[in-house]
């Protein structure tokens, strides 16, 4: 029988409280200094997994300089989703992160009535085959029919760090889109190469987004890569990360993504919007290495580009 406060399959992470944090509440210290997410803090306090000088402590305890704060770190015990066999195009993997090139037609993770056949299910199957138990933690999402780079963290702590980096613009995400219309006209109308328009939920259709004065700030940068009479290829990167941001901004500018049935016009010959998350760039928070990762274009996307 285990003693209270001890946990199998876990270890302790310890910090010594610096002078500048003297008097800070324990929960605030975990949040700001140790960067423990709200979900993890709740789990730790509920399971008596937070200690000050070796004694289990409550959230509001005032810390003193020199105190030792320790939190129990649990190893992953489940994948979080049902593992399935499926094809994966792995762009990069190390001990801490994995980046996968998502194909069109699948979700990043289970949602709504979709429980199986997602990128997360296939990634869990990949880890199971390697006899590793790693909870699937996507750092960001892509729409079902958008292809390209998706970043996953292999620990809860790192997921929190990467999500914070994403919110602060420290993870550079670039996309490619085939748009309806001539790219030179778009460049002429937006000479700065920036589309800045606030985005809000559509009050009549909650799954959609619209440009609205009361919406959240949204900024998309673009560059014309290849111009045609009917279609053009753009490179885009996000300064902000709103739901459907690129699709909404381009449609609002009069140049919807080719095949976008929600914000433009469906194309039965394509079956999806031609949007590709082409690259990720960021400084690895644990190794300090600068990662520049690119996802290969899918065949239908490349075929369109070749015919512009």
- Calpha distance 80→93 (Å, rounded): 19
Q: Give all strands (DSSP E) within 239-283, no chain letters.
A: 275-283
Given the structure tokens 């290969």, which residue do they identify? Answer: 296
Alpha carbon 215 to chain centroid, angstroms: 21
Q: CB burial class (10 A; 0-12, 13-18, 19+) of residue 9?
A: exposed
Residue 94 annotated in active site = no
Cβ atoms < 10 Å from Cβ of 1? 3
Contact between residue 81 and residue 124 where contact means Cβ atoms under 8 Å apart: yes
- Calpha distance 99→292 (Å, rounded): 11
- Strand 50-52 and strand 55-56: the pairing is antiparallel
Annotated active-site residue in 22, 67, 143, 300: 143
Contact between residue 2 and residue 8 where contact means Cβ atoms under 8 Å apart: yes
- Calpha distance 25→150 (Å, rounded): 36
Q: Give all strands (DSSP E) within the chain, no chain letters.
A: 10-16, 50-52, 55-56, 68-74, 90-93, 97-102, 137-138, 147-153, 172-180, 194-196, 199-201, 209-211, 219-227, 231-238, 275-283, 290-294
Catalytic residues: 143
């Amino acid at each position: 029988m285990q003693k209270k406060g001890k946990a199998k399959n876990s270890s302790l992470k310890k910090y010594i409280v610096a002078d500048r944090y003297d008097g800070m509440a324990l929960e605030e210290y975990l949040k700001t200094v140790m960067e423990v997410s709200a979900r993890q803090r709740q789990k730790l306090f509920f399971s008596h997994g937070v200690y000050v000088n070796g004694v289990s402590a409550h959230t509001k305890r005032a810390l003193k300089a020199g105190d030792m704060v320790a939190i129990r770190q649990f190893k992953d015990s489940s994948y979080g989703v049902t593992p399935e066999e499926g094809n994966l195009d792995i762009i990069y993997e190390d001990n801490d992160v994995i980046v996968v090139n998502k194909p069109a037609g699948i979700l990043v993770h289970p949602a709504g009535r979709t429980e199986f056949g997602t990128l997360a299910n296939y990634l869990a199957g990949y880890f199971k085959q390697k006899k590793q138990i790693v909870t699937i933690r996507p750092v960001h999402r892509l729409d079902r029919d958008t292809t390209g780079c998706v970043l996953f963290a292999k620990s809860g702590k790192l997921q929190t760090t990467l999500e914070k980096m994403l919110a602060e613009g420290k993870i550079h995400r670039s996309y490619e889109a085939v748009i309806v219309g001539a790219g030179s006209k778009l460049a002429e109308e937006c000479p700065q190469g920036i589309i800045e328009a606030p985005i809000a939920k559509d009050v009549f259709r909650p799954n959609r987004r619209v440009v609205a004065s009361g919406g959240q700030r949204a900024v998309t940068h673009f560059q014309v890569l290849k111009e045609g009479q009917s279609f053009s290829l753009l490179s885009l990167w996000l300064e902000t990360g709103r739901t459907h941001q690129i699709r909404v901004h381009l449609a609002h500018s009069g140049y919807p993504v080719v095949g976008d049935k929600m914000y433009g016009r469906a194309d039965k010959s394509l079956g999806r919007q031609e949007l590709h998350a082409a690259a990720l760039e960021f400084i690895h928070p644990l190794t300090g290495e600068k990662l520049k990762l690119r996802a290969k274009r899918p065949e239908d996307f490349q075929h369109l580009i070749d015919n512009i």
